Amino acid sequence: MVFRVSVVDFEGDYAVSVARALQMVDWRPEVGASYLVKPNMLNSKTAQEGVTSDPGMVGALVRLLREKSCRTFVGDSPGNAYPGKARSVFKSTGMMDAVLDSGGEFVDFEEQPPVIVDVGGILVHSVPFSRHVLENRIINVPKLKTHIQTVMTGAVKNLAFGCIQGASKSKLHSIGNTPEKMAKAITDVYAYLRSKVEVNLMDAIVCMDGNGPSYGKPRVLSKILASKDALALDIVAFSMAGVDPSSVPYVREGMERGLGPSSVDEIEILGDPLPNCKFRLPSTFVASLSLKFAPWLSPFGPRVSIDKKLCTRCGECAGICPENAIVIRNYPEIETSKCIRCYACYEVCEFNAVKVRKLAILL
């Protein structure tokens, strides 16, 4: 089987670029169907900061669906989500205006009880999904970024984490307490969701390198990518970022389980040329050499600490910690003996107050 991935140079017109990317992979909406558009809405940092999906892209996609009389929901479950958090994140990033102005309907995954599903995975079984995830066809709108725990994040991880309701996501951090186990956990959830996804549309306009998914540096590539297969899309996108896709544990796991292409040779790349670039990796991986050591990085990876000068004492880090290793006294305090180095606290803090040291053995 040949998997197709389209690559489009974004030159300022969202409607033209989104339509072109989707047409090249031969995807069009079914008239009158109901869709859930699932962007990556980690926190209140914007698309231009390289963190959340581009509202212009989502708005253009919603318009395209509405032109075909499709009911179009747009929702996500940001890190450590509780009722009201997604609404606040959508508003502060400009996503809410983009959704409503284009005729879409915002949905807060946390406002209704989840549907518990046994995904029958290797490590993961019972998963609380938002009912919107299960009741609609999914259009996945990930962001291309580095990730301090998984090296890179794109289409597969945006589905696996963002469709799980509320703070239950932290259980995945607990189960996946090494990069290899995390790869298995992500792939377990993705294997269940894969058939529900019609198409994936990746925001690679302003990406992130370094310490993603939230603390890294914005990296402008000005590309939009599309594919009906999330794993194929990640393989092409990570290659475009100068990262060997098979060195990303969850990509390797997906390839080995046959959940997409087993190599880049099975992918037909259409459209504009791929740029030749090299993303800086997260400090937990430091150099491509360190990817070989990924299986044992956690729980021996770099420690986390709190910068009190930046901390607002919001409590989000304590809320997401799967091991209850963070206690908020005057400021958050980390019980090192309980910490599994999952870096969920680092990911969720939008004030850059959680610090991760570099991997000392490789410096």
Which stretches of the chain bind ligand SF4, using CB under 6 A? 304, 306, 311-317, 320-321, 323, 325-326, 332, 334, 339-345, 349, 351, 353-354
The minimum distance between CB 353 and ligand SF4, in angstroms, equals: 4
Q: Rounded to whole angstroms, what are the CA distances from 222 to 130, 210, 238, 274?
A: 32, 18, 15, 11
The minimum distance between CB 297 and ligand SF4, in angstroms, equals: 12
Q: Are strands 105-108 and 115-118 parallel, antiparallel or unpaired?
A: unpaired
Name residues whose C-beta falls within 8 Å of residue 84's C-beta, 6 or more positions apart in sequence.
108, 110
The minimum distance between CB 331 and ligand SF4, in angstroms, equals: 7
**What is the CA angle 189-193-195, rounded to 5?**
145
Q: Are strands 126-129 and 115-118 parallel, antiparallel or unpaired?
A: antiparallel
333-343 per-residue burial string, b: 16 or more CB within 10 A, e: under 16: ebeeeebbbbb
CB closer to ligand SF4 out of 124 and 231: 124
The minimum distance between CB 263 and ligand SF4, in angstroms, equals: 34
DSSP 293: G
Distance of CA 264 to the CA centre of its chain: 21
Closest by CA position to 63, among listed 97, 17, 20, 98: 98
CB closer to ligand SF4 out of 254 and 332: 332
Q: CA-based diameter of the chain, in Å?
A: 57
CB closer to ligand SF4 out of 169 and 223: 169
CB closer to ligand SF4 out of 203 and 350: 350
Residue 84 to residue 103: CA distance in whole angstroms: 21
CB closer to ligand SF4 out of 226 and 318: 318
3-state secondary structure of 354: strand
Name residues whose C-beta falls within 8 Å of residue 67's C-beta, 6 or more positions apart in sequence.
none
The minimum distance between CB 329 and ligand SF4, in angstroms, equals: 11
The minimum distance between CB 247 and ligand SF4, in angstroms, equals: 23
The minimum distance between CB 93 and ligand SF4, in angstroms, equals: 18
The minimum distance between CB 217 and ligand SF4, in angstroms, equals: 19
Q: Other CB atoms closer than 10 Å to residue 361's CB: what's the count?
A: 10
- Enter the tokens of residue 123: 């490590």
Closest by CA position to 241, among listed 79, 7, 4: 7
Write out the DSSP string of 97-120.
HHHHHTT-EEEEGGGS--EEEE--
Q: Other CB atoms closer than 10 Å to residue 47's CB: what's the count?
A: 24
- Enter the tokens of residue 64: 């395209």
CB closer to ligand SF4 out of 206 and 344: 344
First to last CA, the chain: 43
The minimum distance between CB 252 and ligand SF4, in angstroms, equals: 23
